[in-house]
Amino acid sequence: MESAEERAYRSIIDMIVFHQCPPGSPVVEKQLAEELNLSRTPVRNALKRLVSDGLLDSNKNRGCFVPMLSRRDLDNLYSFRMLIECDCAKKAALRCSAVDIKRMGLLLEEEKLVFHDRREEIYLVNEKIHLAIVAASQNEYFEKPVKQLIWRSQLYLFFFDSFYMGQASINNEKLPDGSFKSCDEHRILFEAIQSKDPDYAEQVMKEHVTATYELLVQTKWH
């Protein structure tokens, strides 16, 4: 059975995914507790987790809020992703076990099904795939920064990827579907890690991160 904190956590994410909380908007503990019919403690704990994960920001004056999305932030985010995740993929190719390979293979099958059904929770599978690569790297210091980077990246996808925008368009042009490309790129990345070729895995991850970055730039800042 889902705990009150987990329910609050998932509910807040859903509010962001479905654009009920746009960038810059406050996420108020008291209001959320009332809307979800929960006490404030699990809501407070959920908010702390989301700040730690990188999906929300917080300061003393404003409390919790959805981060503003900007070109500068996007550039900084993806340059750091490039640095961290390429090395992570390289280490995963060198150190992955049979258990790691099986786990990633199952996650790719799950991602394919979720994408085919157009289910918004594909972001959860995306997180699992990237954290499975972390696990395969056998370097626990990758976990926290990669998780934060993935969640902050998801914010941009929630608001600018057609998968979450209901096939929206800008200037009558259909938005590119980054989630579709990611599914294919994840498969290639899995094959690179499975082949235990560290340089190839590093290159594929670089191409994956670059492709997502370029899609977001094209969508919002073209």
Mean pLDDT for 36-61 is 95
The pLDDT assigned to 221 comes to: 81
How many CB atoms are closer than 10 A to CB 107? 20
Q: pLDDT (tens digit, 9 = 90+) per residue, 150-159?
A: 999 999 999 9
Alpha helix locations (H) across the chain? 4-17, 29-36, 40-53, 71-95, 98-116, 122-137, 143-160, 162-165, 178-194, 198-221
For the CA atoms of 105, 106, 109, 114, what is the dihedral angle to 10 degrees? -130
The pLDDT assigned to 179 comes to: 58
Which of 87, 56, 82 is CA-nearest to residue 158? Answer: 56
Whether 85 and 210 have beta carbons less than 8 Å apart is answered as no
Q: pLDDT (tens digit, 9 = 90+) per residue, 82-138?
A: 999 999 999 999 999 999 999 999 999 999 998 877 777 888 999 999 999 999 999
Which of 213, 215, 194, 195 is CA-nearest to residue 74? Answer: 213
